[in-house]
Amino acid sequence: GQSLEQPSEVTAVEGAIVQINCTYQTSGFYGLSWYQQHDGGAPTFLSYNGLDGLEETGRFSSFLSRSDSYGYLLLQELQMKDSASYFCAVRNYGQNFVFGPGTRLSVLP
Amino acid sequence: ETGVTQTPRHLVMGMTNKKSLKCEQHLGHNAMYWYKQSAKKPLELMFVYSLEERVENNSVPSRFSPECPNSSHLFLHLHTLQPEDSALYLCASSQDTTTGELFFGEGSRLTVL
């Protein structure tokens, strides 16, 4: 079967750095993606890791370790607008795209 | 604006009604998806279409019937739904079924009475 695990909630203050971890179990793994979803909105793509290592996009970075079936999303210089739910998602060979349960990030002033 | 448009945005239906959700993508993508998002649950993949052919059907009840007439349009036909089917139904598209980037529509919020 396939499963992904993320923390359910994370709280941090403006300007801080926060890391959201994701562990997964799947077969035929292609890569790991991250999505952001604000309340009432659609999920929006943040990053994708097909290979091990760090990908950086502005204030957001994402990391993947295929051997550990583990990845994380790193958010730097947190802003109030970063308060949202964050989902990791696995793309696998079965043409499937499975999402994790989501992590609700609250950024406090 | 993600290039994926869903209509209607909100729908209320009785258990005996028949309705359809529509999704249109203007991105030239080859793959389209239906996801269900219920409160406090992860996004559940329902159907995947690649080049207008269904390639994934995740044990979805037959009261949900997808249709993909061309690579730009995707429908979800609804019939004899149950109150537990009330959820946000999200359509997404991607360049193909190997890419890690999905483009989502704003969703159709369905309430079944």
pLDDT in tens, A24-82: 998 888 899 999 999 988 999 999 999 999 999 899 999 999 999 999 999 999 999 99
Q: Tell me whether residues A95 and B105 touch, CB distance under 8 A.
A: no
Mean pLDDT of A15-25: 97
Q: How near does any CA of chain A get to the CA of B42, in Å?
A: 4
For residue B73, which of B1, B6, B11 has the smallest C-alpha distance?
Answer: B6
* Residue of A41, A42, A95 with shortest CB distance to B97: A95
Chain B: residue nearest A5 by CA? B42
> If contacts are CB pairs under 8 Å, which of residues 67-96 in chain B contact chain A?
90, 94
Query: Is residue B102 scored above 70 in pLDDT?
Result: yes
**Cβ within 8 Å of residue B110, ≥6 positions away:** B11, B12, B13, B21, B78, B81, B85, B86, B87, B88, B89
Task: State the average pLDDT over residues B21-43.
Answer: 93
Per-residue confidence (pLDDT) for residue A35, from 0 to 100: 97
Number of helical (H) and strand (E) elements in chain A, helices listed first: 0, 11
Determine which of A33, A36, A95, A104 to mutate to test the interface with B (most B C-beta atoms within 10 Å).
A95
Residue A56: C-alpha distances to residues A4, A63, B54 (Å)? 22, 9, 35
